[in-house]
Structure formats: structure tokens, C-alpha cells
Amino acid sequence: MGTEQVNATGEQGGPPPAGWYPNPDGTPSLRWWSGVAWTGAVNPLPSPPSTSDVIARVIIGLALAFVVFMLIVGGVMTATGE
């Protein structure tokens, strides 16, 4: 009892691995955690993808799904002799 550690992300266990994390001072930025302590390295938050990027990815995904579907249907029809 009382021996469990809580790390910088609020989880039980040791410290989180080194990496970019939300800045603990509350500013909208990312700060580098060395695996031991916060460093002075700070980066702005990445921009969310634009609506046109999201729409383009959805269209490409649907087109690829359609091609795969047609290949499967063609394969089934060939295998059954239809």
C-alpha cells in the first residue's frame, strides 16, 4: 500500500517514454519529455487536416473499396463459371 507510483500522464507505473506530449503548463503546444524530465523544447500543436483533405481521403478510400469489391465479385463469378 502506498508503493504504487503515478507517472506524468497520471498512469500507474514508471515515467512515460521519451516523446512529445501536451505541454504540462497548459499552453496549446507540445513539449519534449526526455523520459526523466520535461525539457525546454516546445513545438506548436499540429494543424488538423483541412476539410478538402478529409473529403479527398474518403473519396480515395471509397474508390479503392469499390475496386476491391469488383475484383472479389469478378473472382467469384469466374470461379462459379457465371
Q: How confident is the model at residue 2 (pLDDT cuts 50, 70, 90)?
A: very low
Strands 38-44 and 19-22: unpaired
Model-wide pTM > 0.75: no
Return mean pLDDT, the chain: 86
38: phi then psi, degrees, rounded to nearest 5: -70, 140
Q: CB of 7 within 8 A of CB of 16?
A: yes
Length of the chain: 82
